[in-house]
Amino acid sequence: MKHKSKKSFSMILGTVLAISLMLSGCGKSGDGNAASGANNSGNAKSDKQVTIKYYNWDNDAQAAGTDAMLKEFMDQNPDIKVEHVVLVPGDSVEMEKKLDFLISSGESIDVVQLASLGSAIERSGRGAFAPLNEFYEKEGVNPDDEYWVNAKVDGKYYGMQYTKSINYIMMNKDALDEAGLEVPKYGWTWDDFREYAKKLTKGEGVDKRYGSYFHTWELYMNAPAQTMMKDPFVYDDGTTILSDPSYKYFFQLRKDMETVDKSAKPYSDILAAKLNYRTEFFNEEAAMILTGNFTIADPGNTEQYPHSFKTAFAPVPVPPAGAEPKGYEGKYFTSGSQIVMGATSKHKEESYKLMRFMTTADSPNRQEFSGYKKANNEEIMNKLVAGHEDMYDLDSLKYSLFSDDIKFLDAGAKMTKANAEITKVIDDGFSKYMLSDEPLDDVLKWMVDEATKYINEKGFVE
């Protein structure tokens, strides 16, 4: 999801242990085991401890998990010390702005976690990051067999997938039972979602529970395009997806659910009140919400989100016949954060070793789904719900995450440099249609013209 909160403190852990281990002759080269990720670049033991930096945007809770993983790595690699640098706590957008400043200033950058595949590819195309091909070849692994999605530019690999994003619909199970509705399986459509929302809408005025809630992100402006296409901006041939039939369908669906069915809170109210999507769901303001696996722990967190109902989960609805995105395969988009190596790093072998550990290690301190194909994400799910299982319809959660019905798309073949501009076009076009009487066809034509202009101006990541 796009989708898709972190506090700065750097911690230097295990220094005394590292020195004592070096003196006792530990720190030998690894055996190339990709699953452990700790010793797979084959370096000989260094006579001197090397210090590298790991940059991200952790909040306090996430930083604790990251630091614990970094300590694991340092315990296994006493010749490498890692400093954890949180550039901007809890804000990946501002963090990347600060990172760009550091890169432009010529600072030596070792390992960075970025929020998305797009962020990694865009900066790789500008030469900010080091290609990883020679390291993969030395280790003897094919990255396409290792990770669900790889950051690749002109045949060169630049990023390792750290987390895996999976979208789903969170549903108030008590409300479903009350309405006599089954928890949906893969293949239910957005037309079905609309019917569910009508039946789940209840009450009036301040006591009204809407059947659904759509937040302000692009994800909710064209869910079929954002969840079932390889790239949210362009087709593989480089043309804009804003001409896609799914746009006309979903824009109309959104407006009809607000104005005709009255089963979705008005977009104007959401903007004016600056609503929080989690609060809308857990406060029973809405019975269904499209979100992602970063919310798995939330139903069990009744201290932060007080509620008494059980939460069920369903796969994201598919577009109905006639509204399928171009190139539709019935598979879902998946991405996640990426870990990259700075082109200016003075310790690339050590940085690669850390990258492989962070992305492949079966660590008890991992807090998010892994982008590593061989990871046991079901074990991570169990850890996230542990102690609060009674708040979940666990069968539906497991189905929505791990069923054989749920398949994922490969990465897109093209990526435009106009992501920021096209995002604004989508936001402006959607607002134009939802908040005025401007005809839908006119709005969509304006969006296509604007997006095409920016694509032609900015070009593609090559």
Mean pLDDT of the chain: 89
Q: Which of residues 353, 375, 397 is at a domain's end?
A: 375
Q: Are residues 178 and 100 in the same domain?
A: no
**Pairing relation of β-strands 311-314 and 80-86?**
unpaired
Query: Exposed/middle/buried for 221, CB within 10 Å: 0-12, 13-18, 19+?
Result: buried
Clarify whether residues 47 and 136 are in a common domain. yes
Range(s) of the domain holding residue 199: 167-331+412-458
Does residue 274 fall inside a structural domain?
yes
Number of domains the chain contains: 2
CATH number at residue 362: 3.40.190.10
pLDDT reading at 108 higher than 80: yes
Q: Judge whether residue 56 has pLDDT over 90.
A: yes
* 175/308 same-domain check: yes
For 267-320, the pLDDT digits (tens) are 999 999 989 999 999 999 999 999 999 899 999 999 999 999 999 999 999 999
Instruction: Categorize the per-residue pLDDT at 462 as very low, low, confident or very high, splitting at 50, 70 and 90.
Output: low
Establish if 5 belongs to a structural domain.
Answer: no
Same domain for 103 and 23? yes
Domain membership of residue 41 (yes or no) is yes
| Residues 164-206: tens digit of each pLDDT | 999 999 999 999 999 999 999 999 999 999 999 999 999 999 8
Confidence of residue 60 (pLDDT cuts 50, 70, 90): confident
List Cα–Cα distances, 173 to 180, 196, 299, 310, in angstroms.
Answer: 10, 12, 12, 5
Q: Under a CB-based contact definition with an 8 Å cutoff, are residues 298 and 277 in contact?
A: no
Q: Which of 167, 267, 270 is nearest to 226 (CA)?
A: 167
Q: Which of 3-12, 200-209, 254-263 has the lowest mean pLDDT?
A: 3-12
Looking at the structure, tell me whether residues 153 and 190 fall in a common domain.
Answer: no
Q: Is 291 found in the same domain as 147?
A: no
400 domain-assigned: no
Q: Determine the straight-line distance between the first and last CA of the chain, rounded to whole angstroms.
A: 24
Beta strand 311-314 with 50-56: parallel, antiparallel or unpaired? unpaired
Domain final residue pick, 349, 375, 401: 375
Quickly state the pLDDT bin for 4 (edges 50, 70, 90): very low
Q: Are 28 and 140 in contact (CB under 8 A)?
A: no
> Quick one: 159 and 198 in the same domain?
no
Band (pLDDT 50/70/90 cuts) for residue 47 is low
pLDDT-derived band at 34 (thresholds 50, 70, 90) equals very low
Do 173 and 246 fall into the same domain? yes
The pTM assigned to this predicted structure is 0.81
Whether 280 and 322 map to the same domain: the answer is yes
Token pair 């809770």 is found at 61
d(CA 250, CA 278): 22
Task: Tell me, yes or no, whether 66 and 183 share the same domain.
Answer: no
- In the block, tokens 């999605």 appear at 149
Check whether residue 348 and residue 281 sit in a common domain: no
Picking from 375, 401, 428, the residue at the C-terminal end of a domain is 375
Please check whether residue 360 lies inside any domain of the structure.
Answer: yes
Q: Are residues 148 and 201 in the same domain?
A: no
